[in-house]
Structure 1
Amino acid sequence: MLIEKVDLDALGLSYGDATRIMGEVAPDGVSLGGQDYEPVPAEPEFKLDVSRTSAGYALRLRFKVGLTGPCFRCLENARADISVDVREVDQPVEPIPIQGSNRPGGDEEDEDESSAAELVSPYVDEGTLDLVAWTHDALILSLPEQILCRPDCLGLCPVCGETLNGADPAAHDHGQNLDPRWAKLRDLQ
């Protein structure tokens, strides 16, 4: 079952209660280094654990997905399998002003407001969790630096552009086409 949003308040959880929601979500495609990658499967299965806290919710999202697209080095088809396990806390409470404390270093009211703002999830709006946005952002944060067709990918030849993965290094030679202006430097070797 495809789920895009979850109404947390409709779950009817009391303080200390928890539930697990399982389903499928459709994350948007991902762009990495100017290349587009598509999730496989397009709608991966997820597990969402929702726990009611005294002032809001503690959330945990888990899913596995593959991304397919071009290899960073040779531009052949590549796939990266990604396992995501992220947590969010949403406790939209009003800051409680602290009276009688004269700590140096700033306005206490500002500190209390920023502390309260840190516990508000950007994915929860009026008790509704935007699962698609959270899944997409969690996927982006879990990406490797490069998606390669294989760990030892040799990439493309800088001269002719041929892939070096299947090429014999001895047979793939372009000769010494050196600029004659640099010829005197060869004599220094």
Structure 2
Amino acid sequence: MAKHPDAGRRQRSSPFVVNVARLGRRPGSMISLREQRSSPAPIGLDLVAIPPHAAVDLDLRVESVSEGVLVSGVVSAPTAGECVRCLQPLTGDIEIELTELFAYPDSTTDATTDDDEIGRVTDDAVDLEQAIVDAVGLALPLSPLCEPDCPGLCPDCGVPLAGAEPGHQHDKIDPRWAKLAGMVGPQSSEPSDDGSG
């Protein structure tokens, strides 16, 4: 599972904390949240992620239910990374569906679930950061490609084959014969004067 590099930091320093005090623990109360936030650290995987300080669009419903606060909606952001075959930079966009319950303190859900199983409402706020990090990590490809049929790099000279001339190749000597080829000079096609050739 993808992790945010600063996942252990205090809730209030998270860029994705949402104040839910207006809900007042009244089931059925709802807040629409349409905001743009950003994270100082990348969110995603090693080879592709939401870059640091990129705009993360939140289009969410924040609802009070009997056991806590239910957050649902869409999170979208640009992504940047590197093709696993040709190592060229690539960019894209990600859109994830988010549905996350945050338990009220002293609720049955709070008492019967571990801290890492479900989020908690803390100081009239919920922190969406870990939910976003987890969802993005699941949605991004483990092996991003610039094109589905990317041919990769030339194993001899390292140039991207997609941009190389047609038929790009290198004359290679079988490594088992390379030392012998270095010892023998160029062969002449002319017969020798002594008649042995």
In the superposition, the TM-score normalised over structure 1's length comes to 0.69
**Aligned Cα root-mean-square deviation (Å):** 3.2
Corresponding position: 1:128 with 2:131: no
Change (3 A) 1:95 1:18: closer
3-state SS of 1:160 partner: coil
Q: How many residue pairs get matched?
A: 162
Structure 1 stretches of at least 4 aligned residues deviating more than 6 Å after TM superposition: none
Provide structure 1 residue ranges, at least 5 long, that are not aligned to the other structure. 97-111, 183-189
- Alignment match, 1:53: 65
Contact kept, 8 Å, 1:41 with 1:65, in 2: the verdict is: no
Report if aligned partners of 1:156, 1:162 keep a CA contact under 8 Å in 2: yes
Counterpart-to-counterpart distance in 2, 1:87 and 1:117: 18
Percentage of identical aligned residues: 28
Question: Which of 67, 77, 83 is matched with 1:71 structurally?
Answer: 83
Equivalent residue number for residue 93 of structure 2: 81
Contact 1:41–1:66 (CA<8 Å) still a contact in 2? no
- Does the CA-based 8 Å contact 2:23-2:29 persist in structure 1? no
Unaligned runs of 5+ in 2: 1-14, 179-197
> 1:41: how far off?
7.9
TM-score using structure 2 length: 0.67
Distance (whole Å) between structure 2 residues aligned to residue 32 and residue 19 of structure 1: 31
Q: How does 1:29-178 map to 2 (within 5 A)?
A: 29-30=42-43, 32-33=45-46, 35=47, 37-39=49-51, 42-92=54-104, 93=106, 95=108, 115-117=112-114, 121-122=118-119, 124-170=121-167, 172-178=168-174
Deviation, structure 1 residue 133: 4.1
Q: Take 1:174 and 1:123, find their aligned partners in 2: how far apart are those partners? A: 61
Deviation at 1:44, TM superposition (A): 2.4
Instruction: Indicate how the Cα distance of structure 1 residues 122 and 83 shifts in structure 2: closer, same or farther if over 3 A, else same.
Output: same
Instruction: Spell out, residue by residue over 1:66-120, the C-alpha distance to the aligned partner (whole angstroms, 9 max, x if none).
Output: 2113222111120132111111112244559xxxxxxxxxxxxxxx96x433896
Whether the 8 Å CA contact 2:69–2:121 is kept in 1: the answer is: no
SS at match of 1:125: coil
User: Which has the larger Rg?
Assistant: 2
CA distance in structure 2 between the partners assigned to 1:154 and 1:165 by the alignment:
6
